[in-house]
Structures are given as C-alpha cells and as structure tokens.
Structure 1
Amino acid sequence: MKFAELMEFYLEACSDRKQVTEHLEELLLNFPEKSVMDCSVGTGFIMLDLIRDGHSIICADGSAAMLERFEINAAELGLDTKPIHLDWADLAGTFPDVFDLLICRGNSLVYANVWDNDNPVADAAAIVGHLKSMYGALKPGGFLYVDIPAHSDQSRPDGRIYHTPCEVRGWKVSVSETITLLADAGLRRWEVRMELDDEVFEFTRHSHVFDETRLRQALDHAGFTEVMPLEGNTLRDHYQVFTARKPFPNVMQRFAPAAQDSADPR
C-alpha cells in the first residue's frame, strides 16, 4: 500500500470526519462567491466532499504522491477536479493577489521542505519564506487559515497515544502514535503504527518545532496582521488554528510620494 493511501486510513481513523466537515463548511460560508485555495490539500480528505457539495475550492499541494491519490479519489466521486502541483514558494509568483482565503491545514506548515523525503534537518527559517509567498497570493484584505501542533502534543507523559479501533472501508484499523520533541535538534518526531486487519504498517516523519510564539513572529515578519486563534476549535486535540489577514494598503502612504513629486519645483 502506498504511503498516500495509508495516510488516508490514518486520517479516517483518527479524525472526526463529521466535525471537520462542519467546521470547514462554517469557514467557507464566510467567503461566499470568493476565491479560495487549499494549498496543502494532500489526498483531498474532506475537501473533495466539500467540492462535491458545491463549494468552489482550488486545490494544490507540493507532494506529487499525495496529488496522485487525490486524482483517484476525485474520479471515484465523479468529480472533474484537477489539483495543481505547486510548492508554497511559488504561490505568490503563480497567483499574485488572487485569493480571498488561503487554507494551509493538517499541521502541514511545520513539515515545510521535509514531508516527502523526511529529511530531518532543522530549518524552520524556510517557513517564513513560505508564509511570505502565501501573503503574496492573497488579495489585500484576504485571510490565511493555518494550523500548527498544540503545545500539549509535545509533552505527553508516556509518549504513546492509542486511538479507538474502528472500521474504515471494510478494514479494521488500529492506530497508535508517539510524538517526541527533539529540543536540541529543533525537531519533532512523529512515529505511527497502524494495523489494517492483520497487516502492520509503520512510518516516521519529522517536522520543525514551531509553537504559537514563533508562528506569530513569522506571520508578522511576512506582513500579516490581525492574527487570531480560533477559540473553541476542537478539530483534533493536538491542533491549534489561527487566522491572519493581509492588510489593505495605506491609501495616504500610497499617494504620498506622488504628492511630493508634484510639489517638487525641480
């Protein structure tokens, strides 16, 4: 089984699909007839359901393997939805000032530049560059929706998390996972063990350590304002979700140079 499909079993087993769908529907209702992109769409989990239900969402991801699975899932739902293979660094250049809402969810941000190859090198500075590119893809006044790991998932006492076994697509699925903070390396290690009927699958991924303070600093550095946590968000107990806004240009500042030039007697 390919990793992208395995991730789908993980998401189905460890997420409350109904709750996630309702949350994202509520979010999208605030942007009727607006331009929306999910730039970390992965295999289309939840987003394809929302598209099927009539929401207009442009879907992109930097992982070709995830998008290959996305296209299979879209075809199974009878959707003629083509995702875009696009790195975050290229968002602003490809879609300058286009979107009213840009979504980066699923704890994707902290896996910047390390997801596909799991290259455990601490380079969280790259996240600032990606946020700047997301900023550039938004219209003035547009919003970024982004989530990161909550602090609680970095300090669980015994390290092992056991999810309630369930049935997914006719398979009996059991999942346990360990999240370890490698403070000296600036990394966070995520280890997953899954049982699908009698088969056992294991995988490990590393991400950058990126807490709320560092996120706020990075968003500020990228130019965002109005950084707000989504209070009461219960999508998953180890996510914390924020929105941030690309400000409108200051009209007085924008016209000030022209006014000075016109008054210059030379």
Structure 2
Amino acid sequence: MDAIRSRQRQDFGSDPVECRETDHYQFEYIEGFVDKWDELIDWKSRAESEGDFFIDVLRQHGARRVLDVATGTGFHSVRLIEAGFEVVSCDGSPQMLAKAFENGRQRDLILRTVQVDWRWLNRDIHNHYDAIICLGNSFTHLFSEHDRRKALAEFYATLKHDGVLILDQRNYDAILDVGYSSAHTYYYCGDNVSVYPEHMDEGLARFRYSFPDNSVYHLNMYPLRKDYTRGLLRDVGFQRVDTYGDFQETYRDTEPDFFIHVAEKRYREADDHE
C-alpha cells in the first residue's frame, strides 16, 4: 500500500527544504508527474529550439555508439536514433523508462532501456561507448560531492579512450547571484506550464512545476555552479572541457538558462593541453 501511495503523490517529509538526499529523486518522479513531463517539454518546440546542436557535437567527435544516462521520457534518445546513432537509454526512474519506451513505440522505435544508478553504472552497463549524454539538468539530483565524483568516474570509465561526455545544468550561478529569469526558450517549451524556484540556497534548488489542470509538483536539486562542475570534470580525468551557454560558444554568464559542458577524455600531450 505504501508503494502505491508513493506512486500517487510526492512526499518530501515535514520540511521539504531539508530533503537533500541523492536517492530521493525516485520518489519525486511519480507517475502523475512523469505523465505530464512531455507537456512540460513539448518535443516539437524543443527540437526547433535546440536544432541539431547535440547531433553536430557528437558527429564532430566521431561518435556512433551513445549512452543516454538520463533519458527521461526519451526525447534525446529518439532524436539520436532517428539521426543514425546507436543508443542505449538509461534512467534511475522506472516510470521515466516506461514512458520513454512508450514514446519510442509511438514513433516505430524500440528503445533499449536499462535502469541504472550512475554511482554503479559499470555494474549494469558492461560495454564502452563513444559518447555519454547526461542532459535535462539531471546531474543536479546528486546532493553530495562524493556521489558526484563517483558518478563522473563511472561515466569516464564507461567511455572509450577518446570518448566525450556531454552534460548540462541550469545556470544556477545567475539564479543564486542575480535572481531567476527564464523565458524557457530552449529547455522547457510547453505552453501554460509554469516553472520557477520556490526555494534557493547554496545547497538546494527547490523548483515548482504547475500545469494548466492546476496540478503542482516539485523537484529538489543541488544548485551546481558552472566552474565547480568544470572543476569536477577535470578532476576525474577529462582533459578538455568546453562550456556553451544555451548552445552558444560565446555568452555572458548571467544570460543563459542552461550551460552545456562538452568534456573530452582523449589524452592530450602537454603542449596540446588546454
């Protein structure tokens, strides 16, 4: 009975802003919220907004086999499969994976889905990949630095020797330092869907998602700062890290809604090191 209730409503305890645990995301992506996720994203509008950015980056790095470790409802997995990539789709949420598989079937695609915990990725994923994508602000579900370093080390080990990791995050620097402002131009394109931070401090970003039918959901996430994330990527061994703001190479730090980090594993000689 408790399991059934957990699928029907979110539970953050008596003090939601004190709920700062990595594993809690599994209780946040309940069936009702997952069923509305595509309404939040709006696949058509999002595809138009981001264009072929990820497809182009992957092709520039010669990637063919891609591991989508935060597939969500399958948007990027489907786009990459349709573009000719070989994709395995992973997520920690079984509800998200079920929705992704359903979305693939609706497009005459069979997604290869695997439920994983990034901290033990190599326990369930035994192959090596040309690229890993971790998109949709998903990395911010990890609340401890220990978990973040472990997950990145698992990503690094799963990549081939010249592989590339593409990881995105919200522009938490701007939210923490300046305040929240977003037109949802790129990432959340659904009409009449409201997304804003209900609580922000250096250790928690609690976002409120409200939908036209008056349903409301929340996600608790860790507000990663851009340079901190870049530093973690370098610490685990990625030698070159390029950061884009809303798919642009040149930007002012307060402008983008999202940052996209492209981290190369390929070994560089000392005079070729950035």
TM-score (norm 2): 0.73
Does residue 1:215 correspond to 2:245, yes or no?
Answer: no
Contact map agreement 1:188 1:206 (CA 8 A) in 2: yes
Classify the secondary structure of the residue corresponding to 2:50.
helix
Structure 2: stretches of 5+ with no match in the other structure: 1-30, 249-254, 270-274
For 1:208 and 1:231, how far apart are their aligned partners in 2?
A: 19
Counterpart of 1:128 (choices 142, 149, 158) is 149
Cα deviation for residue 49 of structure 1 reads 3.2
For 1:160 and 1:138, how far apart are their aligned partners in 2?
A: 35
For 2:102 and 2:44, how far apart are their aligned partners in 1?
A: 22
Does residue 1:244 correspond to 2:266, yes or no?
Answer: no
**Residue in structure 1 matched with residue 158 of structure 2 by the alignment:** 137
**Residue in structure 1 matched with residue 208 of structure 2 by the alignment:** 191
Classify the secondary structure of the residue corresponding to 1:174.
coil
Contact map agreement 1:145 1:242 (CA 8 A) in 2: yes
Which residue identity does 1:206 align to in structure 2?
N
TM-score (norm 1): 0.75
**Residue in structure 2 matched with residue 152 of structure 1 by the alignment:** 174
Say which one has the larger Rg.
1
Change (3 A) 1:217 1:9: same
Contact map agreement 1:176 1:193 (CA 8 A) in 2: yes
For 1:125 and 1:33, how far apart are their aligned partners in 2?
A: 29
Change (3 A) 1:245 1:31: closer
Structure 1: stretches of 5+ with no match in the other structure: 113-121, 251-266
The structure that is strand-richer by fraction is 1
Classify the secondary structure of the residue corresponding to 1:216.
helix
Figure out how many residues of one structure are paired with residues of the other and give that number.
230
Give matches, 1:35-184, under 5 Å: 35-95=65-125, 98-112=128-142, 122-150=143-171, 151-155=173-177, 157=179, 159=180, 173-180=191-198, 182-183=200-201
Change (3 A) 1:14 1:181: farther
CA RMSD of aligned residues (A): 3.0
For 2:183 and 2:245, how far apart are their aligned partners in 1?
A: 26
